[in-house]
């Protein structure tokens, strides 16, 4: 009986101490909250802090043109919330998955060597080998809609298309007339003279990618909506097999200069070999299939060597086009057609 009372006294004492500590924490927080910018601490973990001041839409006024830019930014950053498959207005559903434009074009399209879109509008109209014609920026955006977003085309005169184009014009407002700036496209790699090592790719994925993208490539979703904190890399909500990222060389270049998240082209972490292998591993997983891919690249000599779907104008196997080695294919096009292939 005596022991039971002593134990009760101990528990009461612990409760009192905990209560006092909590009160002390609250008092300290209230005193220092006037001096410490806790919002600043939070922002350092969010992608938005990477956007340089000249690309910050908050500097804009409330004019109609500025509002269009701001809406374009919102579309770019939070795509599924406006045109994704779960919105209530079916006429506004253009994206077939819940990816955002900014999942590939990092820092809201401004990060160098992450397919940066700074200056891109000035580079159009542009010859597009996939369509074998001069294409407009609107057509290029719709190419992403049908492939990376696994959806359908937006009307050229829709408010959403106008907003996206206006935003891209705005982030490129200080670029040369030809739109050529440092950081276009992706970081170049020394392509390994071998096929993809899928076993190594899997190990690299486990060590460097799974924490953010999930052990099964499923990504990490936002709690409050259908968008992703980190996007899925395969599965039904990822890019389809007609997307540029489905090409191993393209994906390896993106990975090298941007992953794991936080890496830049100036301070890459992965070796060229590991980037190559993990890109091949990711693109061998199941993903949505785009229809009518046989219509791509009317001039098959212009088809990138790592395009993962037929037809081809050469005699190399589908497996080699997907996983390499790519040097023999590159050499073939140089010898046969005098074409220098880089992807």
- Residue 133: C-alpha distances to residues 123, 126, 140, 150, 166 (Å): 15, 8, 12, 22, 24
The string of DSSP letters for 262-308 reads T--TTS--S-HHHHHHHHHHHHTS-----TTGGGS-SSGGGS-TT-S
Tell me which residue of 168, 187, 186, 183 sits closest to 76, measured CA to CA.
Answer: 168
Beta-carbon contacts of 151 under 8 Å, excluding residues fewer than 6 positions away, are: 83, 85, 93, 94, 95, 96, 97, 145
In three-state secondary structure terms, 206 is helix
**Residue 35 pLDDT:** 32
Dump pLDDT digits (tens) for 187-229. Answer: 999 999 999 999 999 999 999 999 999 999 999 999 888 899 9
Tell me which residue of 51, 171, 185, 64 sits closest to 122, measured CA to CA.
Answer: 171
Dump pLDDT digits (tens) for 253-294. Answer: 999 999 999 999 999 999 999 999 999 999 999 999 999 999
The string of DSSP letters for 153-200 reads PPPTTSHHHHHHHHHHHHHTTTS-TT---TT-SB------SS---HHH
307 upstream amide cis, omega within 30 of 0: no
* CA count, 13 A, side-chain hemisphere, 205: 27
Average pLDDT across the chain, whole number: 88
pLDDT at 34 over 70: no
Extract the tokens encoding 239: 């890019």
Ranges of beta strands (E only) in the chain are 126-128, 133-135, 220-221, 228-230
| Residue ranges of domains in the chain, CATH in brackets | 59-171 (1.10.760.10), 198-337 (1.10.760.10)
In three-state secondary structure terms, 211 is helix
Q: How confident is the model at residue 71 (pLDDT cuts 50, 70, 90)?
A: very high
The 3-state DSSP composition of the chain as helix, strand, coil percent (nearest 5) reads 50, 5, 50
pLDDT at 336 over 50: yes
Beta bridge partners, 135, equal 126
Q: How confident is the model at residue 53 (pLDDT cuts 50, 70, 90)?
A: low
pLDDT at 5 over 90: no
Extract the tokens encoding 224: 């409050």
Q: If residue 337 lies in a helix (H) or strand (E), which one and from where to where?
A: helix 327-337
pLDDT at 116 over 60: yes
**Are 105 and 172 a contacting pair, CB within 8 Å?**
no
Length of the chain: 343
pTM score: 0.83
pLDDT at 327 over 50: yes
Distance, CA of 64 to CA of 121 (rounded, Å): 20
Beta bridge partners, 127, equal 134
Distance, CA of 168 to CA of 163 (rounded, Å): 9
């Amino acid at each position: 009986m005596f022991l039971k009372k002593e134990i009760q006294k101990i528990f009461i004492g612990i409760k009192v101490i905990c209560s006092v500590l909590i009160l002390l924490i609250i008092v300290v927080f209230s005193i220092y909250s006037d001096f410490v910018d806790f919002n600043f601490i939070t922002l350092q973990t969010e992608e938005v802090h990477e956007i340089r001041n000249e690309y910050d839409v908050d500097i804009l006024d409330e004019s109609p043109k500025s509002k269009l830019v701001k809406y374009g930014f919102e579309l770019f950053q939070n795509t599924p919330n406006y045109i994704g498959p779960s919105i209530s207005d079916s006429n506004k559903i253009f994206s077939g998955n819940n990816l955002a434009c900014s999942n590939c074009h990092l820092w809201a399209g401004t990060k160098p060597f992450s397919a940066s879109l700074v200056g891109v509008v000035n580079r159009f109209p542009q010859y597009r080998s996939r369509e074998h014609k001069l294409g407009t920026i609107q057509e290029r955006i719709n190419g992403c809609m049908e492939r990376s977003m696994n959806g359908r085309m937006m009307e050229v005169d829709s408010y959403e298309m106008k907003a996206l184009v206006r935003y891209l014009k705005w982030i490129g407002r200080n670029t040369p007339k030809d739109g050529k700036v440092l950081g276009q496209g992706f970081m170049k790699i020394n392509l390994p003279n071998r096929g993809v090592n899928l076993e190594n790719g899997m190990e690299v994925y486990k060590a460097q990618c799974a924490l953010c993208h999930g052990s099964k490539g499923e990504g990490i979703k936002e709690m409050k909506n259908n968008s992703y904190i980190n996007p899925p890399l395969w599965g039904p909500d990822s890019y389809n097999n007609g997307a540029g990222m489905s090409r191993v060389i393209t994906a390896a270049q993106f990975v090298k200069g941007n992953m794991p998240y936080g890496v830049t082209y100036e301070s890459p972490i992965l070796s060229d070999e590991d980037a190559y292998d993990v890109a091949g591993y990711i693109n061998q997983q199941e993903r949505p299939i785009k229809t009518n891919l046989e219509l791509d690249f009317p001039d098959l000599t212009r088809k990138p060597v790592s395009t993962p779907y037929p037809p081809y104008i050469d005699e190399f196997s589908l497996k080699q086009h997907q996983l390499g080695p790519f040097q023999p294919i590159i050499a073939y096009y140089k010898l046969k057609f005098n074409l220098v292939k880089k992807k």
